[in-house]
Chain A
């Protein structure tokens, strides 16, 4: 053994030294973790101080205007709602179906490998690239125009990998004994999926869908590239009509704007009064995102508690 280490005093000193660094890291670590949380908190406060006085029912029910005090976000939130409707209708069925296929049906072969690599790669592509894809494909190739439909589909592309990944994780948590029990009773594959796999994984799938949609609500870049307008003083046509067949899909081809774009437009203007409007829009957007995230956490918590395998 090292001569120096035989001395009790030097050993004690070394122990004290290593313990000192341990304590230093404990404080550095908690500080570093705090930085993010403090900044998140500062952001909330800053946004609320700037924008809260501007929030009112009138702000939600007025169109944007040249006069900042009269401007509101009516066309923006209606646009957001309609675009999300398209996104949900396009991304959810395809995403769940793809997740079910990969977990329950896919054989281990090169094609499955390619699909898996593609999904993880799609999840890492910048959102604005999806915007370029939507511009080239939906606006100019399929001639959907700069419409609600194009915007919704652009965001659906972005949400799709999230829905697939969430579905797969939820399905993977179901133990094999459930499947075996179902087959033992003579059920076919699809019957097993339909009566057991889907109902048991619905909590996890729903969590993934809500988180995906909350991300899509805040996305701006892909919506800008497909040509959403920044100033709209009218609403898309109503999906409900007084005459037969009472439903109209004309709104799908109408021009639109969404809340993040309205925010971007106002924050880019030099006048301070518009910045206040931007902050107020930010509050609405943030509250929606946080509520959706809270809902997702709650659903995950409840579905975990309910099922004990």
Chain B
């Protein structure tokens, strides 16, 4: 029967198209790796890897260029650390409150509103950091410079609260009710139950949420590009201007880089470092989330 054959062929063709679409994710990852490797290969032919990894000066646009990535890495780590100082405690406490204390109705309204924090465009957060928070902080800390690591760090922290709180809350909600009831039956308060029973039980989920928060903070671009100063500064002082890996890529891209120049290749070298940092975190996070699924 030819209509049957026709039907079968059509089914096969459709499945092939769907499969190719699913495979596109693999192609995208491959092309990221290939493009980053290819474009930074030229960079590492001109700049020795040792100088790149250990140099403390990053001045690729000067007449006598220096290619030490460390100032960009410390800038990234500094703003990330400040963001985590805000997001981890606030996000975790909010998650415990919403999961263990808040009445159902309140949780169902607060959670989506809290998630709006992550929906606000990051340029708007940059505006807020530079023109609202920095002047406010300068009243408290007079020696704070107009561009600094502190205020974008704090704003980034606020921005990633929902990433931390949402995933941790889901992990805590996944702890079976009997475990809570067992704890209450022993006469424990909600506080004791939350900290001694729920948090240990949901540990891998909470850890995955933290990792996700760190990864977001490392990759965040516009807040630091606007408010941190775009000054590659090898420092741990949050009151000074700094530049992150992401902000450097933005800075160079703004100047319409000629294709193939060393200047063009530097953004891919910075991109490789950024990609590897977040890749490691993504792998740890993936592994932790896999463990939650197996836990109960």
Contact = CB atoms under 8 A, between A and B. Distances in A.
A235 interface: no
B262 interface: no
Contacts of B138: none
Contact of A30 (B21, B31, B97, B120): B97
A164 B90 contact: no
B210 interface: no
A264 interface: yes
A230 B93 CA distance: 41
Contacts of B212: 124
Contact of B26 (A18, A115, A219): A115
Contact of B25 (A39, A47, A118, A278): A118
Contacts of B189: 18-19, 21-22
B117 A36 contact: yes
A125 B32 CA distance: 10
Interface in B5-35: 7, 10-11, 14-15, 17-19, 21-26, 28-29, 31-32, 35
B91 to A, nearest CB: 8
A188 B15 CA distance: 12
Interface stretch (B55-63, B67-75, B128-136): B128-136
Interface SS majority for chain A: helix
Interface SS majority for chain B: helix
A117 B286 contact: yes
9 nearest CB pairs, A to B: A126-B219, A218-B121, A29-B97, A97-B21, A136-B35, A101-B18, A32-B93, A221-B221, A98-B22
B160 to A, nearest CB: 10
Given A35-B158, A219-B122, 12 more contacts: A18-B191, A30-B102, A33-B98, A121-B282, A121-B286, A125-B275, A126-B220, A137-B31, A264-B126, A282-B124, A290-B116, A293-B116
Q: Chain B contact residues (Cβ within 8 angstroms of A): what range?
A: 35 or more
B278 A124 contact: yes
B112 interface: yes
Interface string B88-113: 01100110111001100000001011
Interface stretch (A62-70, A127-135, A170-178, A245-253): A127-135
Contacts of A42: 132
Nearest to A146: B256
A296 to B, nearest CB: 10
Interface in B214-248: 215, 218-222, 225-226, 246
A264 B228 CA distance: 14
A6 B202 CA distance: 35
Interface in A152-193: 157, 160-161, 164, 188-190
B94 A29 contact: yes
Q: Chain A contact residues (Cβ within 8 angstroms of B): what range?
A: 35 or more
Given A40-B120, A98-B25, A129-B219, A121 B279 contact: yes
Contacts of B286: 117, 120-121
Contacts, number: 266
B246 A126 contact: yes
B249 A128 contact: yes
A118 B279 CA distance: 11
B274 to A, nearest CB: 6
B43 interface: no
A95 B17 CA distance: 12
B253 interface: yes
B22 A101 contact: yes
Contacts of A221: 122, 221-222, 225, 246, 249-250
A271 B25 CA distance: 44
